[in-house]
Chain A
């Protein structure tokens, strides 16, 4: 009966209920979109690193965080030295140049990278043949509406699209290493070196050998490096997520507070009727709180649905820049945040309703 009363109350004023649900859904969408953006970016980066085929990665001594967008602190000859070590099969230096974060153009010796990773999968066109050739992945091609034979302008230079590659390996945009070194005035320098070991059982041995070289560079197995891809490692993301979550609680609190306050005012007489029937303060309070919780559940569901819409929109418009994903594990958190806001928001109007004088409430017009 209590459930019916709650449901019928919400149904009785559908526009107010729907607006409340919509407004409560917005912070849920914001939270899920932010988490989806962050996790999507990290997962995409992780996947592209894992698919390089490398076992160890060497970065410059000043490399901070995990998402390295540019910098060329390592002499290229270091890669040649590393390749001389026992059990090292291949060492491939690459150079990254940030063009529009998180988009990066990567310079790589394509022949050596093919040996390490098995090569890019060409969806259209083919390999780099000329200095102004560039490979773009399908996501970037979709975002910029470019295809083989088109020209793209990056780093103040016009590039000829030689091939469209399958995304998920090393880079979205790849050019020959010397070309990018020349553009960056980083001749014979690379930003990081990928090392492939002859046998996975020898990774520890090679790690020790690399440490013994005392280069001062940061050396990690690829497994360690990929595990470092967490939101905490991206400056400001954790704090921004907390801010959005707090905003979610505050918006939920305000929306439900105002909505339920109006509901209590509009239903003053009905509260008087319930009191005349012997409804206790607790009964009235639980009705108001239950209505708020139901709005919160509705807001959570709508917010989740809207996050699918946001994800579709982002992936359609900027699939290369923002590889957003749906993070289902955050649904309960977003729901709890909304319900907390709703519960607190309904408390004041609920207590007001519970404290109503039955005679005054019954006389309310």
Chain B
């Protein structure tokens, strides 16, 4: 784990407008994540962990406070700036895998590279990553022909193919059985240990959270411990 902070939030706030009611999803979150760290974020539903995930990932802007990812200040970014951030600096892994159903696994990975502007063939060392993920032989199948565990490992491959500064995983084992959950968590730990990939993982599962170096607990839009 290296020492510099790769994610830093100060008094981060987010207010959603639901009908005529303002909902405070984040009420001043201070968080520092160092490069190469594997951080687990736990908390009950409505605690604000997904909102934090979305802001750090550049999917939505904050309402107030400061947030920087890989040295980029997200609080002043335009929509187009956040789109560029998602291209190169952030990789997402979702609970529902979110692979494009029309494309094979190989092309799901390729489309992420294409959007990021990488047109050449896959780097040789990424072939090793695919072996590590255990999906090298499953690349020519479409998502419907893959098991949940395989789909999630393809999603992880897609998330890291552009060498993002951070990998954001939102309940990555939420749709998997215990065997596949373990395999996916081992993969995430392997990526963190072998490649130094910074990972933020949201989870409800304490066993899954234990794979991280550190666990942050959230409640009512605030970090209560960690």
Contact = CB atoms under 8 A, between A and B. Distances in A.
A, B co-complexed: yes
B103 A8 contact: yes
Query: What's the dominant secondary structure at chain A's contact region?
Result: helix
Given A269-B98, A278-B116, A362-B94, A4 B60 contact: no
Interface residues of B, number: 27
Interface in A273-295: 273-281, 283
Contact of A11 (B85, B102, B116): B102
A5 B103 contact: yes
Contact of A1 (B94, B98, B110): B110
Contact of A274 (B60, B80, B115): B115
Interface in A312-365: 357-359, 362
Given A279-B115, A283-B115, A9 B102 contact: yes
What is the interface of chain B mostly: helix, strand, loop, or mixed? helix
A277 B59 contact: no
B101 A270 contact: yes
B84 interface: yes
A276 B89 CA distance: 12
A277 B115 contact: yes
A1 B114 contact: yes
Interface string B61-85: 0000000000000000000100111
B100 interface: yes
A12 interface: yes
B80 A277 contact: no
Nearest to A11: B102
B59 A359 contact: yes
A81 interface: no
Residue picked from A2, A278, A279, most chain B C-beta under 10 Å = A278
Contact of A278 (B60, B88, B102): B88
A279 B58 CA distance: 13
Contact of B100 (A273, A275, A278): A273
Interface in A235-289: 269-270, 272-281, 283
Interface residues of A, number: 25
Nearest to B113: A1
A11 B100 CA distance: 13
B204 interface: no
A276 B92 contact: yes
Interface in B117-166: 158
Interface string A1-20: 11011001101100000000
Given A1-B110, A283-B115, A362-B98, A276 B103 contact: no
Given A276-B86, A278-B84, A283-B115, A270 B59 contact: no
A323 B20 CA distance: 69
Given A272-B98, A276-B92, A276-B98, 12 more contacts: A4-B107, A5-B102, A8-B107, A269-B98, A275-B83, A276-B59, A277-B86, A278-B84, A278-B88, A278-B115, A279-B115, A362-B59
The list of the 4 closest CB pairs from A to B, nearest first, reads A278-B87, A1-B114, A278-B86, A8-B102
Interface of A: 1-2, 4-5, 8-9, 11-12, 269-270, 272-281, 283, 357-359, 362
20 contacts: A1-B111, A5-B100, A5-B102, A12-B101, A12-B102, A269-B98, A272-B98, A274-B100, A275-B83, A275-B86, A276-B59, A277-B112, A277-B158, A278-B86, A278-B87, A278-B88, A278-B115, A280-B83, A283-B115, A357-B60
